[in-house]
Structure 1
């Protein structure tokens, strides 16, 4: 693929266009970063499933892009990476984020947004959680999750509408890096961290999880990983302690991350 080429698009896509990096990005990549449908797609889960099944042949990883008429997608691709950014050690990256959170533990004097001590995990980086166990197919779980997202409601009780995106990448984590999605930029530019990605919003990430934790000890370890990657999942939610948040992960095949 040359510097300006894009993989051949599948047939019968809805109307759409190729998207480049934001114009004011330093050293802006010249090649398109992704293809995106112009409008929300009816029956988007079935479309996503077909494109996921064709991923190995096309080299294009499909994502659902939440449609919000007040927050467009054209300027969301600020952190475009390259293949050299894909070789990331998850533990090292999460340890760095954890340590950075510990460095800013001390709130400013009279800070109204001070986080209560019990909501701020402390101490040295605890290490990665063990891998989940089970026989569920990650691909089948992701397909089911796409159906779930198609009918999901937003914070205002409105059914979410989704555009389709196609990103030249081997998997969802690589897709976030190569396309340069800026969703977690309020916390980290390390978008190399990822899992089985299904949907993106301007500042939200939806993952399907085929093998979630099944007990509280395992879930606590996973919760600490989530805290390092996305502290707002605890700080800005009803599950505002590690144990509450961990309990919400047990046996659940849906992980959502949100950066305020």
Structure 2
């Protein structure tokens, strides 16, 4: 299908197709089909190198590149869902993080007989603590993103297998905005308002030089050019991560908030997983 509202595709792309709103039951039935993203049909070789080439063409093409996780279990690849969203891109970032934080605090009272209850002492508690100070440093966010794409290209998965990445191109000015514009539902077990996720990413782009590099059905990979450099700063960042993706702390193998924060000190990439 040809979409006149989709930007012209760059040259030398692998086989792929444009995914549109008509494919998803969450799109308004009366709305015309709208191209959401171009996606390669299969994993590609040298995915990080190609990501960099497409990123360098972004200003001309208007298409933001993402590496799309392709699972060895092919049945899991059917979980991808891009549906477009009514949420806007003008959500205030601190309001977004405060909203996510407050919802977690409201959920502190566990349901009766909830076997998955998180021990209360493991929950960062209290009123919203506010945004962490911005990171410092001279590293280029895009240079760091390109290095991270190259790393993901070669980094084995948890089972030691070579990574498998498809390519995606989203009509968007930034990686943060791309997630809302495409209607990515990766954080749906935490929030269905992906515009809150985009708003948080937008302030991280500004404060920490974050750039979106990879997406999975429930995972997000970002590069970080200006990470926290000491534990006090990292604790403040960790509280933002808790609001953004509490499963990182609950199910990431960390014994405490400080242990999680220590892993953020000097880290040039962040990965998020919503169970």
Scaled by the length of structure 1, the TM-score of the pair is 0.94
| Deviation at residue 109 of structure 1 after TM alignment | 2.8
Correspondence 1:115 to 2:131? no
Does the 8 Å contact 1:184/1:203 carry over to 2?
yes
- Does 1:204 find its partner at 2:219? yes
Q: Distance in 2 between matches of 1:184 and 1:86?
A: 17
TM-superposition CA deviations, 1:47-104 (whole Å, max 9, x none): 00000011011000000001122222585113x136x611111100110111110111
Q: Does 1:155 align with 2:158?
A: yes
8 Å CA contact retained: 1:44, 1:150: yes
Q: Does 1:60 align with 2:75?
A: no
Work out whether 1:169 is the aligned partner of 2:184.
no
2:208 aligns with none
CA positional deviation for 1:26: 3.8
Partner of 2:231: 216
Find the counterpart in structure 2 of residue 128 from structure 1.
Answer: 131
Q: 1:98 aligns with which of 89, 101, 115?
A: 101
Q: TM-score, normalised by structure 2?
A: 0.89
Count matched residues: 256
1:13 corresponds to 2:13: yes
Write the distance in 2 (CA, Å) between the matches of 1:72 and 1:252: 29
Distance 1:206 1:199 in 2: 5
Do the aligned partners of 1:119 and 1:241 also contact (CA within 8 Å) in 2? yes
Tell me how far apart the structure 2 counterparts of residues 19 and 177 of structure 1 sit (CA, whole Å).
15
Distance 2:51 2:119 in 1: 41
Contact 1:4 1:31 in 2 (8 A): no
- Measured on the aligned residues, the alpha-carbon RMSD in Å equals 1.6
Q: Distance in 2 between matches of 1:190 and 1:173?
A: 13
- Give unmatched runs, 5+ long, in structure 2: 206-210
Question: What is the deviation of 1:239?
Answer: 1.4
Give the whole-Å Cα distance in 2 for the aligned partners of 1:207 and 1:240. Answer: 24
* 5+ long unaligned stretches in structure 1: none
Deviating more after overlay: 68-77 vs 99-108: 68-77
